[in-house]
Structure 1
């Protein structure tokens, strides 16, 4: 009997079994998950201030923050309206023609509108010291700009105007 070979097989079998058990027992959270932005320290501070001012409801939807938990992200409803603060400036924002054609202003906050291939919409604040991005899933896009009205006051209160 070859003891080293037997140990190797037992070790491989045990590792495979542990992986299988871990995979089978891991929770499958049906909630949204998003990439957390990584802004500079100044923008991160502004985003933390915004996070503290965000409403419990947006467009009548209860807050259901995405995973992983972060002061830079928030969500409402299912499918979720997702807010991310401290995102990079969208390249389209540099093009004045694109921005002029796709810009909207809601209650004093300027947003760049981008329609995605999946039917969702992404809105990104302009002329603020931190970029705030709000994504409306296709199922929520029928309400137009309504959800953005709930973000206007917190954005104006916590993210000063300027160029990030």
Structure 2
């Protein structure tokens, strides 16, 4: 059972989104692992790619290599991957109970996110309660809560339009 799905997510104010930290830069020759979504998820991700904004947080879209409808990038380092496998923390009881200091759930403009702090201090955001897992990683320079919130606010309309609410594939 996916207990994360059954726990209501409190909407977090942008100031509680925490800092997004370092990740590899996107675009301009940077390589990003391309997800391999299943047959039900792939069309959802292709639809998302069609409606993604040209700009996120004022940065122009520059997709990473290899080019794929399952990945997108903005500026030098904002990365989006659609059709990833379910993150282990998505079903961790400690996260659901708010007892994991490195992960929490929250919502921005009608899209729920799992926010995870990585061992290197970086952060990644993964949609929850959607029919595809969409993951966003941000660069260290977007470390302020207003910056990370703006990225998620800019992506929310596309996610809501292209990725229906529901359960994503349970593969992991």
TM-score (norm 1): 0.78
How far did residue 130 of structure 1 move?
0.5
- In structure 2, the partner of 1:77 is 75
- In structure 2, the partner of 1:26 is none
- Alignment of 1:148 onto 2:152: yes
The answer for unaligned runs of 5 or more in structure 1 is 1-28
- In structure 2, the partner of 1:17 is none
How far did residue 100 of structure 1 move?
5.2
- In structure 1, the partner of 2:118 is 116
- In structure 2, the partner of 1:45 is 43
Between Structure 1 and Structure 2, the one with more helix by share is 1
- In structure 1, the partner of 2:30 is 32
1:42-77, Cα deviation, whole Å (9 max, x unpaired): 101000000000001000011110000000000001
Aligned to 2:94, what secondary structure does the other structure show?
A: helix
The answer for unaligned runs of 5 or more in structure 2 is 1-26, 99-103
How far did residue 138 of structure 1 move?
1.6
1:89-133, Cα deviation, whole Å (9 max, x unpaired): 101110243045301100000000011233321000000110000
Query: Which of the two has higher C-alpha Rg?
Result: 1
- In structure 2, the partner of 1:54 is 52
Q: Say how many residue pairs are matched.
A: 135
- In structure 1, the partner of 2:91 is 94
- In structure 1, the partner of 2:18 is none
Q: 1:75 to 1:100 in 2, by over 3 A?
A: farther
TM-score (norm 2): 0.74
- Confirm or deny: 8 A CA contact 1:36 1:72 kept in the other structure: yes
How far did residue 30 of structure 1 move?
4.8
Give distance in 2, aligned partners of 1:100 and 1:158.
30
Give distance in 2, aligned partners of 1:70 and 1:126.
22
